[in-house]
Amino acid sequence: MSKVIPIPKSGKPEKEILLGEKAGFCMGVKNAVEQAKKEVEKQSITYCLGELTHNPEVMKNLEEKGLRVIEDLSQIPNPKGKKVIFRAHGVTKQVYEEAKKLGLEIVDLTCPNVLAIHKIAEQAVKEEKDIFLIGEKKHPETIGTASFCGKNHFVIETQEDLQQETQQYLAQVEKNANSRKLVILSQTTFHLEKFKEFENQIQEKLANKVEIEVRNTICKATRLRQEETMDLAKQVEYMIIIGGRKSSNTNKLFQIALQNCAHAVMIENEKELSEELLQEMKKYQKIGVMAGASTPDESIQNVINKIRK
Ligand code: SF4
């Protein structure tokens, strides 16, 4: 249920902002940011492998307190005993091994939902099952999860991948007479509708050849935000999605807003609400606001205050 915020205006009818109930931080990002803050308070120089969240404001704040973002563990000078944070997306199996070898102290803030997928993948490999991982190939979470999926896994992001990988897999199945088992997994922030569409196509192509187990591992936070964005976008005339441009889940919310509302815009913060955009908004009575899982409450509030003013 979205929260209705009236916009004070002389004359009628009154305009409204409808703010999504699920807008903003998910449990995984909230925990990662809180824990990272505690770590930099304890020991000012703390390394983080990759950006902790895709929100520039949150990152700026943490970096001012002493967080150092690195792209590779080799960038840590004299690593023994130094602390390194693994962010909510998780890392590859090889990175865990390398960090241990270097003597780093790992602060593992990988979201429990992502860790659960790593476990499902490891179990599938133990049981000699093949894996189809549905997700964005270049996303760090998918790269991390793929490293737990053993040798016989296929990553599917697009319709073309789906055609190509199922064909390649079918060729393998036909060569190997032993009965094969396949597990379908997903990146936690993948597009829900697209996952279902891919799953149906895989079932159609492979269900009579292999035993298929579907584990829809899109997390609850993603599902609820996508569903609420869709509902909200249908009720309003203009949708604003707030979040970092590099955030996978924010980009999905924006796609959903565009598909379900005639006018939609994605902004990182209130500074991007230009005079032109504000003028454009004046034409509409109902404005919907939704924010990605890495957007802090403060950013959402700043956007709403600017529109109300
Ligand atoms: S989006 Fe989902 S999986 Fe990712 S950090 Fe948030 S709760 Fe965890």
Residue at which a domain ends, from 198, 214, 230? 214
Higher pLDDT, 2 or 67: 67
Q: Are residues 43 and 118 in the same domain?
A: no
CA dihedral 85, 89, 95, 99 (to 10 degrees): 10
Residues recognised as catalytic: 141
Domain holding 16: CATH number?
A: 3.40.1010.20
- pLDDT tens per residue, range 78-134: 999 999 999 999 999 999 999 999 999 999 999 999 999 999 999 999 999 999 999
Residue 287, domain extent: 3-25+220-308
Both tokens of 8, joined, read: 């004070």
Residues 136, 69 share a domain: no
Q: What's the whole-number mean pLDDT along residues 157-161?
A: 98
Same domain (yes/no): 264, 298: yes
Contact 90, 141 (CB under 8 A): yes
Q: What is the total count of domains within the chain?
A: 3
Give me the pLDDT at residue 2, please: 67
Q: Residues 31, 21: one domain?
A: no
Which of 90, 110, 130 is the last residue before a domain boundary? Answer: 110
Pick the atom of ligand 1 nearest to 27's CA.
7
Tell me: do 237 and 298 sit in the same domain: yes
The answer to whether the CB of 114 is under 6 A from ligand 1 is yes
Q: Judge if the beta carbon of residue 224 lies within 6 A of ligand 1.
A: no
User: Domain of 64: which CATH number?
Assistant: 3.40.50.11270
Same structural domain, 226 and 162: no
- pLDDT at res. 45: 84
| Strands 238-242, 286-291: pairing kind | parallel
Q: How many A from CA of 305 to the centre of ligand 1?
A: 27
Distances (CA, A) of 161 to 110, 134, 144, 155, 251: 28, 10, 19, 8, 21
Q: Are residues 126 and 184 in the same domain?
A: yes
| Whether 270 and 210 share a structural domain | no
**CB of 299 closer than 6 A to ligand 1?**
no
Same domain, 206 and 134: yes
Predicted local confidence at residue 226, as pLDDT: 94
Tell me the backbone φ, ψ of residue 151, rounded to 5 degrees: -75, -35
Same domain, 192 and 256: no
Atom of ligand 1 lying closest to residue 113 CA? 3
Compute the half-sphere exposure of residue 285: CA atoms within 13 Å on the CB side of its CA. 5
